[in-house]
Structure 1
Amino acid sequence: MTSSLVLYSVADRIATISLNRPEKRNAFNPELVSSLTAALLEASDDENVKVIILKAEGTTFSAGADLAYLQQLQQNTHEENVKDSENLKTLFTTIYYLPKVVIAQVEGHAIAGGCGLATICDITFAVPEASFGYTEVKLGFVPAIVSCFLMRKTGETVAKKILLTGDLFSAEQALAYNLITYVTNKDEISQTVRDFALKLCNEASGNSLMVTKQLIGQTTNPALENALNLAVQINARVRESEDFKKGIAAFISKENIKW
């Protein structure tokens, strides 16, 4: 993996993939999304890899979409917005359907798309200091694609609470909502995640891990593809709305907005 936006290494049958835009709080842009997808597929195809750890450089796991990207979205045609939404869908479905276990190591805030990335992984560890949240509604946007995965984890009541308010919440709350698996102290999380990954490598059949992950995905979410296709269209359509343009303009200029 050669992209500077994503770091990739393999040791002891564990692939470690790191978001590497710390100066931008590991915010999403098209290049990062495609590089991360490529790294996950590389790990999937690598016979020397049994388990994947997904983490981030710097103090933020991911702040969602970056400013330049948000500005560009306002200039996109409908077809360009559909294609861009498809790319985000591909990233999330790659993790969801990947035949290898993906463990998230969240040592900083995970917001909007970054929250989706952290919580879609098979197992998620987070430090107590991490904040989570789907803040899209505050920008005139919708968390369309991630919502397709979210309700299976949280249930409808919690999903409505966190998606409609757009409020941030703590790692302990994320654990209570079933969005993450463990809360682990910062000075212990790296070793704890590595020990967990090694345990899977040494104590579980690779084929059994793959089939069990597929079984859970296919039996709990059989209509996922239809929901995602609808979400892609909604995602693209909302980007063309006046509320989205108004919200992004206020966000970029750091102005308070009254809806």
Structure 2
Amino acid sequence: MTYQTLLVEIARGAATVTLNRPEVRNAFNEVVIAELTEVFQELGQNSEVRVIVLAANGPSFCAGADLNWMKKMATYTPEENLADAEQLAEMLYQIFGCPKPVIAKVQGDCYAGGMGLAAACDISVAVESAQFCLSEVKLGLIPATISPYVIKAMGANAARRYFITAERFSAKEAHRIGFVHEVVAAEQLDETVAQLVNAIVNNSPNAVIEAKWLVEDVTSAEIDEDLLAYTAERIAAIRTSEEGREGVASFLEKRKPNWLLPVN
């Protein structure tokens, strides 16, 4: 896979997608949006890939929208603006809805739309020096397309504050409010992400995908008879799946399951 704005590498079940516009703090424009949409669609269907890491080159993870792109959008008609916004929304959904788990490797500042990228991922790890900011209202805008993912990640109370104040906040605060799962020193970032990747690739690929969707399905449902029936059906189905049977058999037979990748 060759892209103008991304670097993509696949090794031992893990794909790394790296934002590669450090000169503009990895801000996104229409090219980045199109390429991220395409790469997550492709990797989501790639049987060799079990987990995806979204990373970035340079001192910033992502500064949000490219200012030159925003300037150009100011000349768009309402219809053109809507079409453009729908493409951005689709990109975020391709990350969020990717069947493979996605880890955000936040090595630097994460602003505006960049927070949408991180929030659309399943797991986020940030360096302790990273700063976060939902800066849209400073520009007379609102964080609309990223809001479903950011609110899911940090909760409504925190989102309400940071949406309307546009304050910068630290990685420690991002962790406190649940926006990121872990905060580490810069020298520990690679190893921490590698440990998460290793944990995921050693699990049942099918069960990992099913577990990812289970969270979404159960979170959005009331605890009632329908949900109880649904969860019973889910566990019954996966028990009789090929990997479900293999996982139990390998445990009882004290051997490794057949989904483990060979050690190079």
TM-score range, shorter chain: 0.7 to 0.9
Q: TM-score, normalised by structure 2?
A: 0.81
| Aligned residue number for residue 219 of structure 1 | 218
The C-alpha deviation readout for 1:6-42, integer Å capped at 9, x for no partner, is 1001001000000010111100100001111111122
Structure 1 outlier segments of 4+, above 3 Å: none
Distance across 1 between alignment mates of 2:131 and 2:220:
27
| Aligned residue number for residue 5 of structure 1 | 5
Question: How much identity, in percent, do the aligned residues show?
Answer: 38
Q: 1:96 to 1:221 in 2, by over 3 A?
A: farther
Distance across 2 between alignment mates of 1:149 and 1:191:
26
Distance across 2 between alignment mates of 1:181 and 1:105:
11
Max Rg structure? 2
Distance across 2 between alignment mates of 1:138 and 1:126:
25
- Superposed displacement of residue 165, structure 1: 0.3
Q: Does 1:121 align with 2:112?
A: no
Q: 1:218 to 1:145 in 2, by over 3 A?
A: farther
Unaligned runs of 5+ in 2: 222-264
Q: Does 1:84 align with 2:72?
A: no
Greater mean alpha carbon deviation, residues 146-155 or residues 30-39: 146-155
| Aligned residue number for residue 245 of structure 2 | none
Q: TM-score, normalised by structure 1?
A: 0.83
Distance across 1 between alignment mates of 2:12 and 2:156:
40
| Aligned residue number for residue 18 of structure 1 | 18
Distance across 1 between alignment mates of 2:131 and 2:142:
19
Q: Does 1:69 align with 2:74?
A: no
Distance across 1 between alignment mates of 2:66 and 2:146:
17
| Aligned residue number for residue 175 of structure 2 | 175
Greater mean alpha carbon deviation, residues 151-160 or residues 78-87: 151-160
Distance across 1 between alignment mates of 2:85 and 2:19:
20
The SS at the match of 1:23 is helix
- Superposed displacement of residue 74, structure 1: 0.6
The SS at the match of 1:48 is coil
- Superposed displacement of residue 154, structure 1: 2.5
Distance across 2 between alignment mates of 1:46 and 1:126:
27
Conserved 8 A contact 2:128-2:183: yes
Structure of greater relative contact order (alpha carbons < 8 Å, 6+ residues apart): 1
What pairs up with 1:1-259 in 2 under 5 angstroms?
A: 1-202=1-202, 204-221=203-220
Distance across 2 between alignment mates of 1:208 and 1:136:
38
Distance across 2 between alignment mates of 1:154 and 1:8:
29
Distance across 1 between alignment mates of 2:100 and 2:119:
16
Conserved 8 A contact 1:27-1:64: yes
Conserved 8 A contact 1:96-1:217: no
Equivalent AA in structure 2 for residue 50 of structure 1: R
Equivalent AA in structure 1 for residue 115 of structure 2: C
The SS at the match of 1:75 is coil
- Superposed displacement of residue 128, structure 1: 0.4
Conserved 8 A contact 2:7-2:19: yes
Aligned pairs, number: 221
Distance across 1 between alignment mates of 2:153 and 2:3:
32
Distance across 2 between alignment mates of 1:96 and 1:190:
23
**What is the alpha-carbon root mean square deviation over aligned residues?**
1.2
- Superposed displacement of residue 221, structure 1: 4.3
The SS at the match of 2:145 is helix
Distance across 1 between alignment mates of 2:191 and 2:171:
19
Distance across 2 between alignment mates of 1:221 and 1:91:
22
Conserved 8 A contact 1:97-1:217: no
Unaligned runs of 5+ in 1: 223-259
- Superposed displacement of residue 217, structure 1: 2.0
- Superposed displacement of residue 52, structure 1: 0.4
